[in-house]
Amino acid sequence: MVGQVMTQSLEGKRILLVVGGGIAAYKSLDLVRRLRERGARVRVVMTAAAREFVTPLAFTSLTNEKVSDDLFSATDEQEMGHIQLSREADLIVVAPATAHLLARAAQGLCDDLATTLLLATDKRALFAPAMNVRMWLAPATQRNVATLRQDGALFAGPDDGEMACGEYGPGRMSEPLEIVAAVEAAIKADTRLPLPVPRTDGPLSGRHVIVTSGPTHEAIDPVRYISNRSSGKQGHAIAAAAAAAGARVTLVSGPVTIADPRGCEVIHIESAREMFAAVEAALPADVFIGAAAVADWRVEAAAQKIKKEQGASAPSFALVENPDILASVARSPKRPRLVVGFAAETRDVIPHAREKLLRKGCDLIVANDVSEGSGVFGGDANEAHLVSHAGVESWPRMRKESVAERLVARLAERLAKSEAAE
């Protein structure tokens, strides 16, 4: 086919395009086309001023996605919060970035959807400025650009050239293909913003906490796997709570559909063995929390997809036991001071948790009832019992975030106590 781009350099990447109000907005239509040609999925957010130059319909037709422009849209807030919109993107591209938009972003203002997304994201933003030459060279704009760069923002352009207003100089928005090249370079590097420096006055400041979360996928062949219903909500909430308490957090996450928690280094893995290797590489730590629902067994995965042969009997698989990550960490020479396991039980919750505490060599077990009807697996609430060698503390049913905060508070107390006892 003539003119077709053969390389899918942005295959599967999600770009959130913020369109500001400037005459260069018409070039952003071409930018969308170029990004899509390279395999990217593009969602567009327009500022109110942008709509004066290009219609939302033009972008909808090019992206096959709804164009968002209203922060307070009730249905959107329910369907997909603005934070999620910016979190699920691999990169935010702001084109054209007007002087006003740069100023608002640099200040952290969030008075419309575009600026709210820029403030809520944990990914880098790539700005393609477009404005009058004097506005670009104005000390205020240059200060804003410096601030944004310092905060991790990237820039494409502006180019020198004849401008719509008749003047000549820097301020013209880069051509769509130049912006695409900057997008490709950003994606190739790492679009996550650098982790914020942990607070120094929190109960876990100065501590390193490793958390495992989510299920694991154990491959049967290249397309099939064994897994479980874990959502990762509890483990991710614990990682977020530990980071909020000042800890440096390494979260080793199995495949989940929820966003990475802010302020944590997140290592994405699939299988139990990958999780084990990532945990070992992350040691030493002060605390290990095994919240993942690690698959107990795996099969020796077939290199090719197993075919269904006419008349042949169903395949059978020999299961091989996976390494027990929690027990290994608890017995490791690099054992963290506190090792916390989870017990998901369907009956005799406390006795089973006590037995697990001893068998796996932990300091604490967070036990919960995951029997049918409890709604714990995949749900937002949890009824937890904290089982230690000293006794059991049972908490009422509460949101998983609250369980996480309580657990983190208990861990901070125990760490302080055990150090004081030395």
Written as one string, the DSSP assignment of 106-174 is HHT--SSHHHHHHHH-SB-EEEEE---HHHHHSHHHHHHHHHHHHTT-EE--PEEEE-TTS-EEEEEPP
Region near ligand CTP per CB under 6 A, out of 19-27, 59-67, 77-85, 322-330: 322-330
CB of 292 to ligand CTP, least distance (A): 5
Q: Is 296 in the site for ligand CTP (CB under 6 A)?
A: yes
Compare residues 32 and 384 and give the one whose CB is closer to ligand CTP.
Answer: 384
Q: Is 90 in the site for ligand CTP (CB under 6 A)?
A: no
Q: Is 272 in the site for ligand CTP (CB under 6 A)?
A: yes
Size of the site for ligand CTP (CB under 6 A): 14
Decide: 178 and 187 in contact? Cβ < 8 Å: no
Report the b/e string of 3-42 with b at 16+ CB within 10 A. eeeeeebbeebebbbbbbbbebbebbbebbebbbbbebbb
264 is catalytic: no
Task: Print the binding letters for residues 356-395 with ligand CTP: x by CB under 6 A, - otherwise.
Answer: ----------------------------------------
Q: Give residues with Cβ within 8 angstroms of 401, minimum separation 6.
A: 237, 240, 241
Region near ligand CTP per CB under 6 A, out of 58-66, 112-120, 318-326, 400-408: 318-326
Rounded Cα–Cα distance for residues 83 and 194 (Å): 18
Compare residues 347 and 417 and give the one whose CB is closer to ligand CTP.
Answer: 347
E strand or H helix at 289, and its extent?
A: strand 287-290
By CB under 6 A, the residues from 189 to 228 that bind ligand CTP are 212
Region near ligand CTP per CB under 6 A, out of 37-45, 82-90, 250-258, 290-298: 290-298
Which is the catalytic residue, given 110, 165, 264, 362? 165
Rounded Cα–Cα distance for residues 30 and 15 (Å): 14
CB of 342 to ligand CTP, least distance (A): 4
Q: Which of 93, 264, 266, 326 binds ligand CTP (CB under 6 A)?
A: 326
Question: Which three-class secondary structure state does DSSP give residue 267?
Answer: strand
In a 13 Å sphere around the CA of 377, the CA atoms on its Cβ side amount to: 15
In single-letter form, the type of residue at position 173 comes to M
Q: Is 299 in the site for ligand CTP (CB under 6 A)?
A: no
Q: Is 274 in the site for ligand CTP (CB under 6 A)?
A: no
Q: Is 336 in the site for ligand CTP (CB under 6 A)?
A: no
Listed residue (15, 26, 76, 96) closest to 55, CA to CA = 26
Give the residues lining the site for ligand CTP (CB under 6 A): 212, 272, 290, 292, 294, 296, 322, 324-326, 341-344
Would you name the residues annotated as active-site residues? 165
